[in-house]
A = this chain, B = another copy of it.
Amino acid sequence: MPLPRQVFIAVIGAGGVGKAFLSQLQQVASNLSRSPSTPTYLSLILLSTSQKSVHHADYKSLNNWESELANSTTPPLPLPQLVEYLAKAPDKVVLVDNTSNQDVADSYPLFLKKGISIVTPNKKAFSSTYQLWTEIFSAAANGTGSGGYVFHESSVGAGLPVISTLKELVETGDVVRKIEGVFSGTMSFLFNSFQPVNGGGGKFSAEVKTAKEKGFTEPDPRDDLNGLDVARKLTILARLAGLKVESPTSFPVQSLIPKELESCSSGDEFLARLPEFDSQMESTKNEAEKEGKVVRFVGSIDVSNNKVKVGLEKFDKSHPIAALKGSDNIIAFYTKRYGDNPLIIQGAGAGGEVTAMGVTGDLLKVLRLLQ
């Protein structure tokens, strides 16, 4: 019978996802410590934001991270020093990266090679250059390496079981032919409001404004409308399906930012001028309507033909993608085994709690592997 054991947890990022994760961590740690067969003691040894860090030279557990972080005057450790600090810990370490920081992502191979495992929703690590992807998985024990484990379920669809399902399809020998879906909560909300299945919907610029007011967009809505967020998610899934996608800009991505507004100096200026271009979107909408269809912003990976693309597509009103509600994501896997009716996963694909859930679920997977 395995002995009781301790695992160190280091967390970077204390924003919406970070805070939700820390709360879930507390609950999970309490459950694990009371496990009758193999109690596990999770010890939070580091919490770091872009401004400051809390950690102790003797790896003492942070028992009240909120006040310790609030009172800290220590700047965050530079990444090479963070690697060294964690590598020298007297027990196994899981790094939880709850940022969307490229520099942290670029350091993953270093952490992994030192035996530090990583769980993260950070898309940048898995959707930047193909070289970084290769370096990460040739270092990781669940790749071809012998270092730490790396899991990133929440990098696509937040807590929805998208990545684990795709991995299982591939690993059990199914042939994935096509992956298609709505991968952005913002785009989902925007188009479900712009062209509801039962008719109606406002001007496109008005819907963008509403979405921003409701907190469904990034602070600058152009960061959603340029399609890059969806392109990053597609890059990750395409690579898991076996395609060698060089970067999220190496395939066609339709931006919903009119060319004339690309040079706007602020999000506010952009929003003020967007109504000038409503007629374009209106004609797209009407064209779909004439065919009995609705327009949606989707991503698709045609695995068989090695084609990835992101942009507007028309769907029959009875199609599951058309019938989506609120800001839900939907992901359909067309495979040899599932035939004409795809395996579909649907639900909230953004938000602090559900994103953190994917991270916490990954942490539990790593803990089982570290036994």
Q: In the docked arrangement, what's the CA distance between A145 and B37, Å?
A: 6
Q: Considering only CB atoms, which chain B residue lies closest to A326 in the complex?
A: B341
Given the known inter-chain contacts A342-B347, A343-B346, please indicate yes or no for A161 contacting B168, CB distance below 8 A: yes
The answer to whether B354 and A171 touch across the interface, beta carbons within 8 angstroms, is no
A24 at the interface (CB under 8 A from B): yes
Counting chain B CB atoms within 10 Å of each CB, which of A173, A351, A357 scores highest? A173
The answer to whether A348 and B357 touch across the interface, beta carbons within 8 angstroms, is no
How near does chain B come to A274, taking the closest CB pair, in angstroms? 28
Question: Residue A364 contacts which of B2, B172, B368 (CB distance < 8 angstroms)?
Answer: B172
Interface residues of A in 286-324 (CB under 8 A from B): 318, 320, 323
A353 at the interface (CB under 8 A from B): yes
Interface size on A, residues (CB 8 A): 54
A325 at the interface (CB under 8 A from B): yes
Q: In the docked arrangement, what's the CA distance between A168 and B158, Å?
A: 13
Counting chain B CB atoms within 10 Å of each CB, which of A146, A339, A343 scores highest? A343
A369 at the interface (CB under 8 A from B): yes
Given the known inter-chain contacts A28-B171, A28-B172, please indicate yes or no for A144 contacting B341, CB distance below 8 A: no
Q: Considering only CB atoms, which chain B residue lies closest to A363 in the complex?
A: B172
The answer to whether A173 and B323 touch across the interface, beta carbons within 8 angstroms, is no
Report B-chain residues with C-beta under 8 Å of the C-beta of A1.
146
The answer to whether A337 and B318 touch across the interface, beta carbons within 8 angstroms, is no
How near does chain B come to A369, taking the closest CB pair, in angstroms? 6
The answer to whether B357 and A337 touch across the interface, beta carbons within 8 angstroms, is yes
Report B-chain residues with C-beta under 8 Å of the C-beta of A28.
171-173
A224 at the interface (CB under 8 A from B): no
Query: Chain A binding site: helix, strand, loop or mixed by DSSP?
Result: loop
The answer to whether B159 and A337 touch across the interface, beta carbons within 8 angstroms, is yes
Question: Residue A341 contacts which of B323, B328, B340, B361 (CB distance < 8 angstroms)?
Answer: B328
Contact pattern, A 168-196, Cβ under 8 Å of B = 1, otherwise 0 = 11011110000000000000000000000
How near does chain B come to A264, taking the closest CB pair, in angstroms? 33
Question: Residue A172 contacts which of B37, B341, B343, B361 (CB distance < 8 angstroms)?
Answer: B361
The answer to whether A172 and B24 touch across the interface, beta carbons within 8 angstroms, is yes
How near does chain B come to A229, taking the closest CB pair, in angstroms? 20
Q: Given A37-B141, A172-B357, A342-B347, 16 other A-B contacts at CB below 8 A?
A: A35-B144, A37-B143, A161-B168, A168-B357, A168-B364, A172-B361, A174-B357, A320-B323, A320-B346, A325-B341, A326-B341, A337-B354, A343-B345, A344-B347, A368-B369, A369-B369
Which residues of A are interface residues toward B (Cβ below 8 A)? 1-2, 24, 27-28, 31, 35-37, 141, 143-146, 159-161, 164-165, 168-169, 171-174, 197, 318, 320, 323, 325-326, 328, 337-348, 351, 353-354, 357, 360-361, 364, 368-369, 371
Q: List 24 A-B contacts (CB under 8 A).
A: A24-B172, A24-B173, A27-B173, A31-B173, A37-B144, A160-B343, A161-B345, A168-B357, A168-B361, A171-B364, A172-B360, A172-B364, A173-B360, A320-B346, A326-B341, A337-B353, A337-B357, A339-B348, A343-B345, A343-B348, A344-B344, A344-B346, A344-B347, A345-B345
